[in-house]
A and B are shown apart, each in its own frame.
Chain A
Amino acid sequence: MLRCINRLEEISSGELIVDGFKVHEPKTNINLMRQEIGMVFQHFYLYPHKTVLENITLAPIKVRKIEEGAAKKMAMELLEKVGIPEKANSYPSQLSGGQQQRVAIARGLAMKPKIMLFDEPTSALDPEMIGEVLDVMRTLAKEGMTMVCVTHEMGFAREVADRVIFMDEGRILEQESPSQFFKNPKEERTKLFLSRILQH
């Protein structure tokens, strides 16, 4: 579902409208739409040949045509926000997983998107580093950023989400507020899932 929102996945049937853009229509200017949607991946996918700062400024400069000085200034503010301004001139390979993911979030935010998509942002991380990434996301949520997050971090979902969607085999099974979802799941499949997940 997440990958359909910015059409990284071809939409085979049905309608999907994101912020007025008809994603399912081939003639929609997809590049224009994607500028408004930040995305964070499970495996970060930072640009390895660019420094942290360049990773963040590349799209604003080349796609949004922002002036370089302004882009750098904004990038530094974002790095400040995700807590690693000292890494600006490092290369991604010199960073820990948690740091890389925070840079990836900063890179997404640099386009000043209206929506942020998170595709299992903590699944590839050491358990110790999950916290630092979730903290950044928590801050974003509090600031009012619209976020769609695929996650297995149930505690995080419960605390931060406005709406929880439970999916199985590519279908939406249940859509609820977090309190309803975790306390009174309606579907059997959801109950099974929660009982398995919450045991440990």
Chain B
Amino acid sequence: MDFSSVLDPTHWSALLSGLKVTLLVAFSAIILSFIFGTILGVLRYTRIPVVSHLAIIYIEAIRNLPLLLIIFFGYFALKDWGVQIPIALSVIISMTVFTSALVAEIVRSGLNSVDKGQIEAARSQGFTYTQTLWYIIMPQAMKKMIPPMVSQFVSLLKDTSLAVAISLPELTHAAQIIYNSKYNATIPLLILVSLIYFVINYCLSLASRYLEKRLAG
């Protein structure tokens, strides 16, 4: 094993630019899937006839597909239809499509966990259904949604490494390029990359615990 390659500054800058792509793709997809997932989850929860059925179909279809497949679809299908977009954007779209479905389920189960009496109390005061959702149900559900939501986003960040398959220049890909050109550097680089993923995701988990505590207060 050759640990010296890990210490080589030229490799560091390659890894850093890989990390930037990973973070860019992950956080864009996190924000987008939070928005779309929440909308989907609420739509499914409301049981508005056609709309909630469409939400169910979407969620069930996507939830049962492997992410890698969706990443391939995002990349090749768009290309096939003549849509020219950067690889990173196609990965962001694919990850958003996938994670939204999972976030939607987290949102729905969070909303379902709020006592039905809360709805009755609010409606009995003259709140409309939408107001009840917004002022009464959502804030209570949020608290319960944070931990599973964050663990979903941690998965998302880790799964950006799947985009290696379509040569997105993210962190894992950057490491791959280096150890392909260097003899005996594979394991040290994989260890380094693992550490980077670990630190970022661990910070995310800590942030989630902090948020949870603050909301519980």
Task: Tell me the A residues contacting B by CB distance below 8 Å.
Answer: 6, 8, 31-32, 34-35, 37-39, 41, 43, 45-49, 58-59, 62-64, 107-108, 111, 117
Do B127 and A47 touch (CB < 8 A)?
no
Task: Tell me the B residues contacting A by CB distance below 8 Å.
Answer: 115, 117-118, 120-128, 131, 135-136, 139-140, 143
Do A35 and B123 touch (CB < 8 A)?
no
Do B140 and A39 touch (CB < 8 A)?
no
Given contacts A49-B139, A63-B131, contact A32 B126 (CB under 8 A): yes
Do A111 and B125 touch (CB < 8 A)?
yes
Do A8 and B126 touch (CB < 8 A)?
no
How far apart are the CA atoms of A122 and B40 in the complex, in Å? 40
In the complex, chain A residues whose CB is within 8 Å of the CB of B136: 47
Do B120 and A58 touch (CB < 8 A)?
no
Interface on chain B toward A: helix, strand, loop, or mixed SS? helix
Do B125 and A59 touch (CB < 8 A)?
yes
Given contacts A41-B120, A43-B117, A58-B135, contact A31 B140 (CB under 8 A): no
- 13 A-B residue pairings within 8 Å (CB atoms): A6-B124, A34-B125, A45-B117, A45-B118, A45-B121, A47-B118, A47-B140, A48-B140, A49-B143, A63-B127, A64-B126, A107-B125, A111-B125
Residue in A39, A41, A62 with the greatest tally of chain B CB atoms within 10 Å: A62
Option from A41, A46, A49, A63 in Cβ contact (under 8 Å) with B126: A63
Do B123 and A34 touch (CB < 8 A)?
yes
A102, chain B: closest CB distance, angstroms:
15
Q: Which residue of A is nearest B126, CB measured?
A: A35
Given contacts A45-B115, A49-B139, A62-B135, contact A111 B120 (CB under 8 A): no
B32, chain A: closest CB distance, angstroms:
27
In the complex, chain A residues whose CB is within 8 Å of the CB of B123: 8, 34
Option from A37, A43, A46, A49 in Cβ contact (under 8 Å) with B124: A37
Q: Which residue of A is nearest B142, CB measured?
A: A49
Given contacts A41-B117, A45-B115, A49-B140, contact A31 B128 (CB under 8 A): yes
- Per CB-CB distance, the 7 closest pairs between chain A and chain B, nearest first, are A35-B126, A45-B121, A39-B124, A59-B125, A45-B117, A34-B126, A63-B126
In the complex, chain A residues whose CB is within 8 Å of the CB of B127: 31, 59, 62-63
Do A41 and B131 touch (CB < 8 A)?
no
In the complex, chain A residues whose CB is within 8 Å of the CB of B135: 58, 62
Option from B124, B128, B139 in Cβ contact (under 8 Å) with A8: B124
